[in-house]
Amino acid sequence: MTQFDKDYIVGKQSEQESLPILNQIFETDLFHDEDDFAHFDFFNNNFMVELKTRFNTWFNAETDQFFTETKTGRIIEIDTLYFDSPKLQMAYQNIKKGCKKDYYVVWRLKNNQFYYWKMNWKGESQNRIDFYIEGQNRDCGHGYKQPRDVVNVRVNALSLFTSP
């Protein structure tokens, strides 16, 4: 089984477990999109929500830093969390066409920490305030690495969900 397949299974399980928490975060009932190829996992009349599960990543409140553990077991500080750029492109196109929904990415981290970011395009096109886009090579489900742009959201742009 490829790493992509393993991650896909973990992600699908996380979607089921996270829906009640996401309903709390957004104070509404979200619907799970059953389309395996949907750009966003959850939706309703007001929101589109993508869930990214990163059980190897966490926030340390004592040091005010995000960390991730690499596949080799190395722990490194990180300053962004990422997602695939087609999601941002879809949101941008829909908003340009008059869609009034808010688009969010939520990261479920180690120890059930939930951080979220409301998509926005603050700043000049080549100097966005909350994010930047970079090319990477990743397995996108075909069993081999392919060039793919990812959106790196700066951690200072994220909000923590805390239970009411």
Buried residues in 31-53 as b, exposed as e (16+ CB within 10 A): ebbeeeeebbbbbeeebbbbbbb
DSSP character string of 67-107: EEE-TTS-EEEESEEEEEHHHHHHHHHHHHTT---EEEEEE
pLDDT reading at 163 higher than 60: no
Rounded Cα distance between 145 and 153, Å, is 22
pLDDT-based confidence at residue 132 (cuts at 50, 70, 90): very high
**Exposed/middle/buried for 91, CB within 10 Å: 0-12, 13-18, 19+?**
buried
What does the pLDDT average to over 55-72? 95
What does the pLDDT average to over 24-49? 94
The half-sphere exposure of 142 on its side-chain side, counting CA atoms within 13 A, is: 8
pLDDT at 141 (0 to 100):
67
* Dihedral sign for Cα atoms in the order 84, 89, 91, 94: negative
Whole-prediction pTM: 0.91
pLDDT at 119 (0 to 100):
96
**Mean pLDDT for the chain overall:** 91
